[in-house]
Chain A
């Protein structure tokens, strides 16, 4: 399945949900926010939110800034 993660095309296989994607990327859930096709996906919904072909996924977190 081809999806776009943070603007970059990726082919993922064996990954069905947002939660599986986060685990696969070894990201720490507490620190990040996930958006699927411009819609924020709350953490409690990651496990049941299914990834689809051509999804645009944004994974963001806080950094230092003024």
Chain B
């Protein structure tokens, strides 16, 4: 049976989502998106630099991809809603990653403002994927106000530290009925794999791919790790124990005379 993730009525085959920031060039980014055969990519919305025209990032994103604009730069719910509406007006669909940050050192999201923005945008018909600190009460509120998934952080954005929030994310996976997607902080394919083994619906990776020496190869490595982790989760992960449990029979030893 094919294992497909459904969000907002869309079927998503690839459980690796990729952020498009920080690549050394749009060409490099394009190769990474193609190499990983990604279905979902995030983009940001910014003021046009009128003096120095830059190329349109959309020309480098495969047509099959679902575009998820983020609300980066927003410091409260009103700013996030404004950015989301502008992004929708660009005519690339109604998905949005709500990202509301007031903390400049750790870039941790403001969960309360995130709930407010999610409520407004979900009512307007957006498919809302909120970036959040992994907190069960807030995740439940996000579900109640219409989020299509929750995106808890693994570690601070761009930190490459891995799934430091593991136990809190595991609680979300156990209690939240909508997809739990780890976003931010995953620095290695092994971390992405671990998230998928835990039962995350997907992971979103940007920095670790974009700043790799060979981003396209790293994108493929993450895609393979995500597939492997997902398969392991579906196969049923074994429980860990402190003591050893022999794999080979404890009878019939040659030493017995």
**Using a CB–CB distance below 8 Å, which chain A residues touch chain B?**
5-7, 25-28, 31-33, 35, 38, 40, 42, 58-66
**Using a CB–CB distance below 8 Å, which chain B residues touch chain A?**
19-23, 26, 29, 42-48, 50, 53-54, 56-58, 67, 69-70, 72, 82, 85-87, 89-90, 92, 157, 184, 204, 206-207
A25: chain B residues at CB < 8 Å are 50
A62: chain B residues at CB < 8 Å are 43-46, 56-58, 67, 69, 87, 90, 92
Contact A65 B90 (CB under 8 A): no
Minimum CB–CB distance from B43 to chain A (whole Å) comes to 4
- Chain B: CB-nearest residue to A62: B43
B19: chain A residues at CB < 8 Å are 64-66
Contact B48 A66 (CB under 8 A): no
Minimum CB–CB distance from A36 to chain B (whole Å) comes to 12
Docked complex Cα distance between A60 and B89 (Å): 11
Docked complex Cα distance between A63 and B54 (Å): 9
Further 8 A-B residue pairs, CB within 8 A, beyond A60-B48, A62-B69, A62-B92: A6-B50, A27-B53, A38-B82, A62-B43, A62-B57, A62-B67, A66-B19, A66-B184
Docked complex Cα distance between A60 and B92 (Å): 14
Q: List 12 A–B pairs whose Cβ atoms lie within 8 Å, in order of A's numbering.
A: A6-B47, A6-B48, A25-B50, A27-B53, A59-B50, A62-B57, A62-B58, A63-B54, A64-B19, A65-B43, A66-B21, A66-B44
| A25, A58, A64, most chain B CB atoms within 10 A | A64
- Chain B: CB-nearest residue to A38: B82
Contact B89 A66 (CB under 8 A): no
B26: chain A residues at CB < 8 Å are 64
> Assuming the A-B contacts A31-B56, A33-B90, are A60 and B45 also in contact, with contact meaning beta carbons closer than 8 angstroms in the complex?
yes
Docked complex Cα distance between A20 and B105 (Å): 42
Which residue in A7, A28, A40, A42 is a CB contact (below 8 Å) of B47? A7
Minimum CB–CB distance from B255 to chain A (whole Å) comes to 59
Which residue in B45, B67, B72 is a CB contact (below 8 Å) of A61? B45
Contact A40 B48 (CB under 8 A): no
A63: chain B residues at CB < 8 Å are 21, 43-46, 54, 57
A42: chain B residues at CB < 8 Å are 89
